[in-house]
């Protein structure tokens, strides 16, 4: 059996920038979409030469707002994947969509192209909060998108939510969570808002006009999320990710458990053959590189920040990413991968955090406790070897 490989395809276009967003995404003239897609297809085709020994187990088309594109472009990209890679018949194929940018004919086209998972960015079920976040859609737009996806036969839907953002109250969060869970999505991601430099929220915070929920309110929101999700039958399999049994996002799970991945498109990151790299994040550079006639262009002009991971860095990542998952890390896997016992390398932070009640040990596995998840930044930083 060939080893697994995951593909990430980045579509950096959005209708408008949200007030909190620092992702690599921007509004652009739709005339550029076709050029971008044809460059993406060249990149996918060219890179396939090194992937013959792998089976692609997941494809994630993310952004930005992939659903802003004409459906034919998504079909062409997935067709290029099929023609050039050994795509497993069981592969998870996800597309991110924003309410309002999706119409029924696009859903049918995605389905025909093999997409079997939809991820919808809602963020809040309260229209005033959506406006504050700078989203371009209403909750009613989301409902239409969600119901259309169900009618089109999508049985694996994720809904993205944000909590702990400015002016959010316990009441509106309760309403958001209850309204969304009534729809019974298979997967829900809940991210705490982080105010990033360069965003409108960052400027508003500097001016003192943003009222963030207090620490107590944030704790109340977190604890309500945990108990309401559990009561509703959702499993927390990673810090920010909840699902109904059997609907973990395989693509993300692969990231956290060391499956190699190749990223295509502007600014996309890759981890392959022990190397990490990132594509250029300058659109003029990405579109200007001759990927068809210049085989060296991939490594020399398209990629930046190329790093070969040392053995220590691989061990750190094993712990750092694995402990994000609630099933934790396996001591046997560690031994198999690195030829050393987990305790020989990380015995000190493991014992210390077990003593503090932040890590628990059961059978072959070490995992963060609920208290450990609450202070995960502090715990995970202790697994850095240099």
Interface residues with ligand SF4 (CB under 6 A) are 14, 17-18, 21, 23, 25, 63-65, 98, 121
Q: Report CA 48 to chain centroid distance, whole Å.
A: 23
Helices then strands, counting H and E runs in the chain, come out as: 16, 15
What is the closest distance, in whole angstroms, from the C-beta atom of residue 108 to ligand SF4 in the complex?
Answer: 23
- Give me the phi and psi of 41, to 5 degrees please: -65, -40
Closest by CA position to 135, among listed 104, 160, 158: 160
What is the closest distance, in whole angstroms, from the C-beta atom of residue 24 to ligand SF4 in the complex?
Answer: 8
3-class state of residue 97 by DSSP: strand
Beta partners for 204?
A: none
What is the closest distance, in whole angstroms, from the C-beta atom of residue 16 to ligand SF4 in the complex?
Answer: 7
Tell me if 286 sits within 8 A of 302, measured CB to CB: yes
| Nearer to ligand SF4 (CB atom), residue 17 or residue 276 | 17
| Nearer to ligand SF4 (CB atom), residue 63 or residue 349 | 63
What is the closest distance, in whole angstroms, from the C-beta atom of residue 120 to ligand SF4 in the complex?
Answer: 11
Tell me if 120 sits within 8 A of 98, measured CB to CB: yes
- 3-state per-residue secondary structure call for 335-350: HHHHCCCHHHHHHHHH
What is the closest distance, in whole angstroms, from the C-beta atom of residue 196 to ligand SF4 in the complex?
Answer: 11
Tell me if 117 sits within 8 A of 73, measured CB to CB: no
| Nearer to ligand SF4 (CB atom), residue 32 or residue 50 | 32
| Nearer to ligand SF4 (CB atom), residue 14 or residue 157 | 14
| Nearer to ligand SF4 (CB atom), residue 18 or residue 350 | 18
Q: Report CA 196 to chain centroid distance, whole Å.
A: 17
| Nearer to ligand SF4 (CB atom), residue 121 or residue 349 | 121
| Nearer to ligand SF4 (CB atom), residue 29 or residue 296 | 29
* DSSP code at position 30: G
Angle value at C-alpha 103, between 102 and 105, nearest 5 degrees: 125
What is the closest distance, in whole angstroms, from the C-beta atom of residue 185 to ligand SF4 in the complex?
Answer: 18
CA atoms within 13 A on the CB side of 361: 13
Spatial CB neighbours of 176, under 8 Å, sequence gap ≥ 6? 124, 125, 126, 129, 161
What is the closest distance, in whole angstroms, from the C-beta atom of residue 101 to ligand SF4 in the complex?
Answer: 9
Q: How many Å apart are CA 337 and CA 306, to the nearest integer?
A: 23
| Nearer to ligand SF4 (CB atom), residue 19 or residue 241 | 19
Q: How many Å apart are CA 62 and CA 75, to the nearest integer?
A: 14
What is the closest distance, in whole angstroms, from the C-beta atom of residue 309 to ligand SF4 in the complex?
Answer: 28
Tell me if 275 sits within 8 A of 309, measured CB to CB: yes
What is the closest distance, in whole angstroms, from the C-beta atom of residue 121 to ligand SF4 in the complex?
Answer: 6
| Nearer to ligand SF4 (CB atom), residue 61 or residue 373 | 61
Report the DSSP pairing between strands 4-11 and 55-63.
parallel
């Amino acid at each position: 059996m060939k080893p697994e490989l995951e593909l990430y395809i980045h579509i950096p276009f959005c209708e408008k920038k949200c007030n909190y967003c620092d992702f690599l995404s921007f509004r652009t003239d739709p005339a550029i979409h076709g050029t971008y897609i044809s460059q993406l297809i060249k990149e996918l085709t060219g890179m396939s030469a090194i992937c013959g020994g792998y089976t692609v187990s997941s494809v994630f088309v993310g952004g930005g707002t992939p659903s802003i594109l004409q459906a034919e472009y998504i079909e062409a990209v997935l067709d290029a994947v099929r023609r050039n890679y050994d795509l497993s018949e069981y592969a998870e194929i996800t597309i991110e969509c924003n309410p309002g940018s999706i119409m029924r004919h696009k859903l049918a086209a995605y389905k025909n192209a093999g997409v079997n998972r939809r991820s919808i960015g809602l963020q809040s079920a309260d229209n005033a909060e959506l406006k504050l976040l700078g989203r371009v859609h209403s909750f009613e737009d989301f409902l239409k998108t969600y119901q259309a996806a169900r009618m089109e036969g999508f049985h694996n839907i994720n809904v993205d939510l944000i909590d702990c953002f400015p002016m959010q109250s316990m009441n509106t969060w309760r309403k958001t969570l209850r309204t969304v869970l009534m729809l019974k999505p298979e997967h829900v991601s809940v991210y705490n808002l982080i105010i990033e430099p360069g965003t409108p929220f960052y400027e508003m915070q500097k001016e003192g006009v943003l009222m963030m929920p207090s620490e107590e309110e944030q704790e109340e929101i977190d604890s309500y999320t945990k108990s309401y999700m559990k009561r509703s039958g959702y499993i927390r399999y990673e810090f920010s990710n909840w699902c109904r049994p059997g609907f973990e996002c395989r693509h993300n799970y692969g990231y956290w458990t060391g499956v190699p991945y190749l990223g295509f498109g502007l600014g996309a990151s890759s981890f392959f053959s022990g190397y990490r790299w990132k594509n250029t994040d300058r659109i003029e550079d990405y579109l200007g590189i001759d990927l068809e006639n210049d085989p060296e262009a991939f490594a020399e002009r398209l990629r930046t920040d190329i790093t070969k991971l040392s053995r220590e860095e691989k061990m750190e990542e094993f712990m750092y990413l694995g402990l994000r998952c609630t099933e934790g890390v396996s001591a046997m896997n560690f031994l198999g991968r690195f030829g050393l016992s987990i305790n020989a390398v990380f015995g000190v932070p493991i014992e210390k955090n077990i003593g503090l009640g932040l890590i628990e040990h059961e059978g072959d596995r070490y995992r963060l406790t609920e208290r450990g998840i609450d202070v995960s930044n502090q715990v995970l930083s202790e697994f850095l070897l240099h």
